[in-house]
Structure 1
Amino acid sequence: MTRITRRRLTHNPPITEQGLRWANDLPSEILSIIASQSGSAARYVTLRLVCKGWGDALSMAPFPPLPSPQVPFLLVPPRGVNPTAPCPLGYAYPLPFPVPSRTAFFPLPRLQGTLGCICVGSSHGWLISLGRDSSLSLINPVTADSISLPRLSTMDNPVLSFDKDSSPQYHLRQNGKSFSQFSIVHRSVLSSDPVQDPGFTVLLFLSGLTNCCFTWRNGSTRWNQYLHEPFLVEDVVFVKGVFAAIDRSINLVIFDFRNLETALMIIYQDALFKVLPKEAFLVEAAAGDLWLVLKWVNSGDSRMHRGAIQVFQIHMRGDVDGSREAEAIEIQSLTNYVLFVGHGSSVCVTVDQFPWLAPDTVYFTHFYTKVGKSPNIAHHGGVYKFNVSSKAAHKAFTVGQPRNLLLSYASTSVNKLKKVDNASI
């Protein structure tokens, strides 16, 4: 079985409030009791980031169970970072959530031992980390728990190479192209939460490889490679025991890895749509339904139009003769459902579970480049929210917003801590 270890948060602000000097003198036993009653991930993170003493004490204490279902968030790259590149660990911000009088932000802290690592995926509340030396890890940004995965070097594929004497990074070479750390992993996803499901599976698609994928099941010592028909994955999600995937043309394919020796690739039909969207996302919705979210906005557009997002429910049918068909039916209203969409990380929740969220809404990231008077290229945009019924889109969070406007969970201000206590991430 995989060992879950606890990393330390190393981005702890110093205590400047005189009223919080008692924090370091609080016994760890009492602090653990307080943490066990925190009730939400936001409050727990607040406790860990009050001061270094609290962070060290809680790093060794058992973490209380996270609220169910998964805490929804979107990774947003910091200002100045290319939004098309993977996020450096410790420099991304999950989605801000509206609270009664202002917007709250949860800054992702720097985790010990992640220097030089990048985030190549986010699934079931865990980040998938890739190091310069081909090391892979699953990291929970809230609890700082981590699970080490086999290195990419355990993959049986001749296009993968690593020479520490000539190159400081692991490289993938395919068709004359060389993919470095920032582009080697094309898509990565987990089948389930590793804490709740010890039998979870990790699925990887590497850049440049369209005819094979790799899986790792908890307890294994290496990656398994599966050859399949050429298929460039746009998005993939685990639903009803299998991985459902689509490409940029919205062709639907099912990958079944329940038998480790063979992988069944089920092709349902040709493209579901004649006009291709700019981006497409798959979501496991209520009762295991498969939803498809289409984004029609070009990454270069600075304005969000009313038809930016469409949501469909996919129905899959198998005939007696072996033929398979899929049908996409547009959803006109999400009622009390809320969607957070990102490649390999989409989540569906309800406003009953997270009452501070807007119902019938799709949250997503959108960035565009803008060349100013200086030669530097600035990346603008952030997180948008789209109401499915009214077709109205609004910006919920702008990258590069002044830090004095952020309500940071890492703040040591007593007043801010009280405000954070009324919110959750």
Structure 2
Amino acid sequence: MKLKMQQLPLWRQNLYVLWFGVFMTGMGMSEIMPFLSLFIAELGDFSKEQLSLYSGLIFAVTFLVMAIVSPLWGKLADQKGRKLMLLRASIGMCIVIFLMGFVTNIWELLLLRALQGAFGGYVSNSNALVAAQTPRQHSGHALSILVTGITAGNLLGPLLGGFLADAFSYRTSFHITGVIMFLVFLLTWVFVHEKQQEQPAQKQTVTKTLTFTDIRKNKVILLLLTTTLLVQVVTMSINPILSLFVKQLLDPGQSVTMMAGLVASMPGISTVIAAPAFGKLGDRIGTHKLLIFGFVFAMVVFAATTFVTNVYLLMFLRLLTGVSDAALLPVIQTLLTKNTAPENTSLVFSYNQSFQSLGNMCGPLFGSAIAAIFNYRGIFAFCSLIMLINFVSFTRSKLFVSNEK
């Protein structure tokens, strides 16, 4: 196996290994969802309100901590090397997730979930390493393939978690995932190679002093980071009320759980299928055109979803939502690469992960608030409006022109 891997171009070898790594990271982040509340219920005698509160807190704390610490790891990656940060993240998640199988109370689980976020950075540094070492003509396609890895992991994580919990136990599922993350650590150690490039002295100084204030002054980078945040917000906004909306569309006696699961999986499935093709298309026709398509397509799909009358139409439109994600997410990654100095790539991609984590947190809160004020359908109308505002922001910026020259 090692001989075959070494026969590949370095950027392809890294890409294949890192795809598996981000895939397993996505699984590790999402597999707890099917049994989170049930596992928490085993850790104490909680009321229904307490159980809901603790479940939400334990889910959110990982993303909150990740949003805070990701830029710190990204800055260190630019200084010390991205492979080192990949090894740190994978072994850190290995240990933390494995230890979750031994917790005895709610506070231990909360601490370990926070540490899971603190040890994050595998995805952002994978993106940064691939972006930095892939030939420019293949960068869009390569980054699109990585998007399929994290998306597929997030999609299949709940399925794996539910299967492992049923076949073994809640605790054993953590142990198995921890062992898999150790495999990710070993594969990264052996097969991922980073070409070190010597940096001029003054550029090293810039890297050391770079702060979010510096990034905030770069309107292009800030717009791209904000787009990442908003795409995650609209993607995650439906999650809190999905089963309730599906129930509203179903006839009495139909299985709400099964249909809600199918509807929830649709965006991930289409993103995995469409992202590599969009990556190649973007490399060929330009990111500008693909970006326009992604925004317009998302606006139309969300607007149409407002008027669905049955669950099968909802399922189809959610499938199309994943197509818009497949167009937008790789383009954002590619534009970040084009508009970032090589010595700051990891830092900027880490900020991108921070904004993505904030979107994962804010999306469900946004969806719940809109559903409470208006109704379930109102969520999709507001999502379409958000994409419209984001699209207008891009058209008024210099990004479209500068990246086509």
Q: Determine if the TM-score, normalized by the shorter chain, exceeds 0.5.
A: no
Higher helix share: 2
- Structure index of larger Rg: 1
TM-score (norm 2): 0.24
Higher strand share: 1
> Whose relative contact order is higher, 1 or 2, with alpha carbons under 8 Å and at least 6 apart?
2
